[in-house]
Structure 1
Amino acid sequence: MSRRFHAPVVLPADPACSLLRDAVVDVDDTGHLTFCGPASAAPESTALVTTLSGILMPGLVNTHAHSPMTLLRGMGGDVPLLRWLNELIWPAEAKMRPEDVRTGMLLGSVEMLRHGVTTSAEMYFDCEQIAEAVLTTGGRALLGPAIMDLPHMDWRAQLAAVERWIDTDGLRFGPGERVELGYGPHSAYMLTPEGLRAVAESAAARGALVQIHVAEAAAEDLKQRELHGSVPALLDEVGLLSGRTVAAHAIHLSDADIALFAARGTGMAHCPGSNAKLASGIARVTELRAAGVAVGLGTDGPASNDDIDLWEELQLAPMLARLATGDAMTMTAADAFLLATRGGAKALGRDDLGALEPGRWADLVHVDLDDPAFATGLDVPDEQLLANLVWAAGSRRVRDVWVAGEQVVGEGESLRVDRAKVQASVAETAARLRG
């Protein structure tokens, strides 16, 4: 049915990061937005009215995650990236069964939804299980099934499997188009140029998103940099930057790399928490944004972060940008909020998510004000209220969440999944993987 949401404050995530007072958001019976604006300017409506306290805003967009890794949370917390992958994570993942991936994703999706993250871009194995989990929780995911060249993995078979899935089910499916299919070539050091080119051609033929790790650690791509000048240059040579591509991490970039991303329309998934924890470096977000690169925020996996709460990245991104540049104005609270919403959708090539505008999906988050962060109330300047939300409150007061107009979180808990039961399943599975 059609719905009208009435709230004292609405953050539409428009380019100016406006804050609307006494505003309404209208949703039609397909789950799309039809109006967002002041109540005084709202059209006549017979829709069911939901009156909310506090703030109504778009769902956050997590542009890079490996959420089934809730099963591996806490493993190797004090080990650098390449050792962490080779010695701990990949051996544990080799023991995973397909149903384990579903279990891990169920908890990951519930965790994100409870934090107001309605969309995540997932790169992992057994993505059929991830799709099933997301359709169960009611979240939204863009899937990049992992494609890697290893002795026990055939990248050609992995690529062919992705092609069959897209050709059978289409790029998007599920209620509210909750699942989008794409490609997840792990990195330039885990695939040959031949493999990367094959992925690029396949994705271009289908208009699909490619998710790929780029220049995350200083020592990971030495051979590729020596042969091609840089990882972005290699990706451009094989055609991977010609279509919809989001580069995860993208820390160790030159000025020429940044200009190349801007020229090709490549998105960037900035993961400041994971980058800091693994000592991978601080991405050049200020320069990327200045060049016009679409930048979104990502959590990375819950084993490298160690959570999937995008609000923490909302805070870390401006903090690290300010430290890196010595400029306290280089990224404001409004800038960070837009990276987590509108910017994330743009980085993924999705103009139907990330903002409260007619025609976009009604992915909504209600934040109540019963928290010391909002002790000064709503009757403060707009900039102060937004600062309290971004810098102080974070995810604590996310109370209700809707995806495609359907409520999936109420009073801070999933309305579709028994969280305690899922957590118990994760604990049992994790114990087996450790054994």
Structure 2
Amino acid sequence: MNNHHLPRSGQPIVFRNGTVVTMDASKQVHRNTDVLVIGEEIAEMGPALEVPEGTFEVDAAGGIVMPGMVDTHRHMWQTAMRGYGADWTLTQYFVWYYLEHGKSFRPEDIAVGNLLSAWDALDAGVTTSVDWSHGLSTLDHAEAALDALESSGGRFVFAPGNIFAGPWEWSTSTDFKNFVGRRNKRTDMLKFQLAFDVTGDPAFPEKAAFEAARDLDLAVTTHAGVWGASNDDGIRLMYENGFMTPETVYVHAATLSSDSYQRIAATGGSVSLSTESEQSCGQGYPPSWALRQHNIPVSLSIDTSVWFSSDLFTAMRTTLGADRSYEHMKAHEKGDTVTHSALRAEKVVEWATRGGAAALGLDHAVGSIEKGKKADIVLLKNDFSPTSFPMINPCGHIALQAGRGDVQTVLVNGRVVKHNHRLVGVDLEAMRAKVASTVEHLQSVLGEEAWIKGMNPDIPETKILDNPYTYTDYRSSSTRGH
């Protein structure tokens, strides 16, 4: 992109005459309003602002100025296989990555997936992403994953994990602890979590991983309430041992009992919904309805582009659809009719922005448009699309009308990373070649027959139906009709 169409480094930026969806505590929406950015922060908001001389102006008239979106769970390393698993179930995903081919990824393949995913996120107005990075079989993989994130220009929470070894092993090693101590900058641009799952084994071997997280002062993010993998027993063990905290993020939470939801609510944790994934894969029915009943904080996430879209517009839309579908279905079973939608468009926009920031402990910095907060800002405006008008209900427009093609400008920490519908400083042709190299590597390792079969898998005869984790023989008696 020609640099004269972009602000200079440090140049103030003002969005003029937009509809500003603040997502602040009072959910204010301001029409014909300007937002001024100076340095890393939102300096002022109001109509017809007086701005410093030489301020870079972005015409937001007819558009929506909203906070950057926050994705609280994405397996970014898998993005170089975009769409490969379109027809998979969760079982087939486990077989491919956990049992058969996950270790075929080299550090450079992890890095390529992460960088592609990071750019993908920024292109869609997702300014903060959790890299649920569970393909890290070595620390070289972890270094490569983190290097890629830091080079992308986005805001990240790096959640290292390793599906090929027990979390009580890799998280407690001296080398891993040294890695975290050296690379965790503890800034608003880069935070760490620890990513691992709890099988429900009564011996609770994961206890050592929770203790490691506590020693490293890291929050835990865990796949919980996933049919056949991690259910109520895991939540109970976490609770009985004192490892459920307000910082804990429970991903999916789709097959939990009321007791488990009550434990999450009582300890202040939050749930990351991946509705598109839960609808398709088999973790369980998307539980937004249950989370609302128990007043559990919610954020939204993508999961993985090996299946799904990589934007939170789709996440908002599918979450509204799944929640409302459930309400209608339950009402019809009783002969009733739903006459009022319990889940509103404004709420899913909140989950995609402020809710995600709160789940990650970043709501002091991002998640809403307020004076003094970091300037993670998205302008939705597409003058070439008939879908862009009329824009009557801003939150309804964001949740049910808009898409990544409407993302005109994106700021992260006050820096323009996308403008006029194009990413800034991104060499897509070079990335295309790197991704092709990763795909060629995987095809070579698997062989053509296995590669094709992987996209069209047979029904597996494997213990995966009861336990996807190679590092333990424990199987739950709570599923599969035992």
TM-score, normalised relative to structure 2: 0.79
User: What residue is the counterpart of 2:47 in the other structure?
Assistant: 39
Check whether the contact 2:167–2:206 (CA below 8 A) recurs between aligned residues: no
> Aligned Cα RMSD in Å?
2.4
> Counterpart in 2 of 1:341?
353
Superposed counterparts of 1:183-194, under 5 Å:
183-185=194-196, 187-189=197-199, 194=204
Specify the alignment match of 1:84 in structure 2: 93
Partner of 1:139: 154
In 1, distance between residues paired with 2:55 and 2:372? 19
Q: Which amino acid aligns with 1:236?
A: Y
Aligned position for 2:428: 419
Per-residue deviation, residues 310-346 of structure 1 (Å, max 9, x unmatched): 1100100011000112255121111111110001111
d(CA) in 1 for partners of 2:354 and 2:131?
18
Instruction: Tell me, yes or no, if the aligned pair for 1:120 and 1:141 is still in contact at 8 Å.
Output: yes
**1:129 and 2:144 aligned:** yes
Q: CA deviation at 1:390?
A: 2.0
Flag the structure with larger Rg: 2
3-state DSSP of counterpart to 1:393: coil
- For residue 312 of structure 1, the aligned residue among 307, 311, 314 is 314
2:35 aligns with 25
Taking only the aligned residue pairs, the percentage that are identical comes to 25
1:293 correspondence with 2:300: no
**Cα shift readout 1:151-194 (whole Å, capped 9, x = no counterpart):** xx674234434422332344525xxx422122111x11298855
1:149 is displaced (CA, Å) by 6.2
Alignment partner of 1:114 is 2:117: no
Q: Which of 105, 122, 136 is the equivalent residue of 2:114?
A: 105
Extract unaligned runs of 5+ from structure 2: 1-9, 329-337, 445-482
- Partner-residue secondary structure (3-state), 2:24: coil
* Matched-pair contact (CA < 8 Å) for 1:67–1:308: no
Distance 1:192 1:159 in 2: 20
Q: Give the counterpart of 2:245 among 242, 245, 248.
A: 242
Distance 1:7 1:129 in 2: 42
What's the secondary structure of 1:396's corresponding residue? Answer: helix
| DSSP 3-state at the match of 2:350 | helix
2:170 aligned with 1:157: yes
Deviation at 1:45? 5.0
Partners in 1 of 2:405 and 2:75 — Cα distance?
23
| Deviation of the 1:231 alpha carbon | 2.6
- Which residues of 2 match residues 272-291 of structure 1 at below 5 A? 272-291=275-294
Please state whether the residue corresponding to 1:260 is helix, strand or coil. helix
Structure 1 pair 159–302 and aligned structure 2 pair: CA distance change class (3 A): farther
Q: 2:25 aligns to what SS in structure 1? A: coil
SS at match of 2:191: strand
* Deviation sequence 1:103-152 (CA, Å, 0-9, x none): 111111111111101111111123332322222220111011104463xx
Q: Could you tell me how far 1:301 is from its partner in structure 2?
A: 1.0
User: Structure 2: how far apart are the matches of 1:426 and 1:45?
Assistant: 43
Question: 2:14, 2:34 within 8 Å by CA — same for their partners in 1?
Answer: yes
Task: Give the unaligned 5+ runs of structure 1.
Answer: none
CA contact (8 A) 2:353 2:368 kept: yes
TM-fit CA distance, 1:44 = 6.7
Residue 329 (1) aligns with residue 341 (2) = yes
For the 8 Å contact 1:105–1:134, the answer to whether it is kept is yes
Structure 2 Cα separation of the partners of residues 130 and 63 of structure 1: 17
Aligned match of 2:23: 13
Amino acid of the residue matched to residue 366 of structure 2?
L
1:51 aligned residue: 58
Does 1:231 pair with 2:234?
Answer: yes
Structure 2 residue aligned with 1:402: 411
| Cα gap change, 1:216 to 1:169, in 2 (>3 Å) | same
Distance apart, 1:293 and its partner CA: 1.5
SS in structure 1 opposite 2:104? coil
Question: 1:18–1:114: structure 2 CA closer, same or farther, 3 Å change rule?
Answer: same
Amino acid aligned to 2:343: M
Q: Secondary structure at the match of 2:302?
A: coil
**TM-score, normalising length: structure 1:** 0.87
